[in-house]
Amino acid sequence: MANVLIRNGLLVDTEWARHMDILIKDSVIARIAPSIAEDSVEDGTTVIDAEGLCVLPGIIDAHTHYHLVSRGTVTADSFSEGSRLAAFGGVTTVVDFADDDSKSLLASFDDRRKQMRSMSIDYALHQGVYKYREDIAKELAAVKKEGVEAIKIFTTYKNVGYLVEKRDELKAIFLEASKLGMQICIHCEDDAMIEEIDSKWKGTYLPKDHPDLRPSEAEAAAIRYVGGIAKELGISIYIVHLSSKAGLEAVRELRNDGVHLTVETTPHYLFLDRSKLEGPDGALYVMTPPLRTAEDNLALQEAVVNGEIQVVATDHCSFTRGQKLSSNDVRTIYPGIPGTEELLPLLHTFGLTQGHLSLSQIVNLVCKGPAKAFGLYPRKGSLKEGTDADICLFDPDESWTIGKDTIHSASGYSAYEGMTVTGKVVMTFLRGRLIMGDGIYLGLEGDGQFVKGRS
Ligand code: URP
Ligand code: ZN
Ligand code: ZN
């Protein structure tokens, strides 16, 4: 593989942003210095002038569902399509999920890992745990040994078999996972509360009703519930896709009570509100938890700015327009939207154009934060000598409008269509290899590697 010298760019790490040159050799970052002369590097080194560009660590989307088989269908973006759209967003690593099938956890993990061999960017895996088993300690140890750093728990979706209902069973899973040093990621919505609302519901089941059927209070209640278990056990937990101000209040209470939580939110809970659910295309914006109010957006934005939220990931779970619009009843609309590709431009626009976040804060939220949470740091999520040369070259000045013709998701739409953003990914390198440049995708199917946690 040819060596690469990137000159004159603004290197952005979590603590600093400086004009530095960066030399990539044999797929790792070999050297970072204020100036690396062209005549000092080996013959055949590709030299890139990054004047006016930002040089960021490859972005990590810590929450994706590529090729998710669920509810009798499969999501729109396959592993190769997911990898491709990710490269256009400067994303070089995703953290996806192995479902808890009826088999052992290890067999479920093995299946998912085999399926993901077609990825052309790197990936880690969380292991879903949807039921308690007697030998849970052994089962978790088996997947941990293979490099799985986190488990995924749901407090909802009883109807699709994802809910661990009994508190003592959930507690036992938490305990065993934490003994192994695994991160415990939890989708927080109180299923019983939602069922109760549904049983008394007098309204319609249109997309606009979704936030009332699955209210913020259900998120807050579930956070308090799992936070209570974490407190009893003295362990840490990770809340995925926090969607509401009420949920944030619950996080604050728990933290005041000494519970350690890592919190993730998504661009859609930061920048979209429930008004999107009105009108004939409302189904396109249905995901769980649902979109909330502008006030919730604001509360979460403030929490991102002040550091109460450590990770922004997308929960990319894409369905085609056809799949989404095949029902207008929120009980059967496939939940989820695409998002990996838009993650960085949206955050950059909020951060730099609107003046809320520095580049270093953004790198913390989409590089270091997720890498630390899932045992990938510093190999992923940093610009340190000796680490994987995953690099995103980003033009901070280019202004463009998200539209059908700019997106690469097989879903055929973006929830952010019509939004003008500032900042565009110009080149994406995966372990030193250019996988996207000047709008052309150069990824190789099967070139993505499974990244073991703490490796
Ligand atoms: O609607 C969503 N979020 N779909 C993906 C699955 C999940 O709950 O994260
Ligand atoms: Zn979820
Ligand atoms: Zn998800």
User: What pLDDT digit, counting tens, does each position of 428-442 carry?
Assistant: 999 999 999 999 999
Q: Read off the pLDDT of each residue in 34-62 and give the average, rounded to a whole number.
A: 97
Query: Which atom of ligand 1 is nearest the CA belonging to 154?
Result: 8
Please tell me the distance between residue 263's alpha carbon and the centre of ligand 2 in angstroms: 13
State the ligand closest to the CA atom of 71: 1
**Percentage of residues in the chain having pLDDT higher than 70:** 100
Q: What is the mean pLDDT of the chain?
A: 97
pLDDT of 1 > 90? The answer is: no
Query: Which atom of ligand 1 is nearest the CA belonging to 65?
Result: 5
pLDDT of residue 102: 76
Please tell me the distance between residue 4's alpha carbon and the centre of ligand 2 in angstroms: 39
For ligand 2, a single-atom ion, the residues with CB < 5 A are: 187
Please tell me the distance between residue 314's alpha carbon and the centre of ligand 3 in angstroms: 8
pLDDT of residue 285: 98
pLDDT in tens, 151-161: 999 999 998 89
Name the residue among 226, 361, 360, 229 with its Cα closest to residue 301.
361
Per-residue CA distances from 57 to 31, 64, 89, 224 (Å) = 14, 19, 12, 35
| Residue of minimum CA distance from atom 8 in ligand 1 | 288
pLDDT of residue 101: 87
pLDDT in tens, 281-330: 999 999 999 999 999 999 999 999 999 999 999 999 999 999 999 999 99
Helices 245-256 and 216-233 cross at an angle (nearest 10°) of: 20
Please tell me the distance between residue 289's alpha carbon and the centre of ligand 3 in angstroms: 10
pLDDT of residue 454: 79
The amino acid occupying position 58 is G
Please tell me the distance between residue 239's alpha carbon and the centre of ligand 1 in angstroms: 13
pLDDT in tens, 170-211: 999 999 999 999 999 999 999 999 999 999 999 999 999 999
| Residue of minimum CA distance from atom 9 in ligand 1 | 315
Record the tokens describing residue 181, joined without a space: 């040093």
Confidence of residue 2 (pLDDT cuts 50, 70, 90): confident
pLDDT of residue 455: 59
pLDDT of 387 > 80? The answer is: yes
Name the residue among 90, 64, 88 with its Cα closest to residue 77.
64
What is the CB < 6 Å shell around ligand 1? 65, 187, 287-288, 315, 317, 335-336
pLDDT of 97 > 90? The answer is: yes
Query: Which residue among 214, 219, 269, 315 has the greatest number of ligand 1 atoms within 8 angstroms of its CB, and so is best to mutate?
Result: 315
pLDDT of 249 > 90? The answer is: yes
Query: Which atom of ligand 1 is nearest the CA belonging to 335?
Result: 1
pTM of the full structure: 0.98
Please tell me the distance between residue 343's alpha carbon and the centre of ligand 2 in angstroms: 17
Query: Which residue among 269, 317, 331 has the greatest number of ligand 1 atoms within 8 angstroms of its CB, and so is best to mutate?
Result: 317
Please tell me the distance between residue 178's alpha carbon and the centre of ligand 3 in angstroms: 21
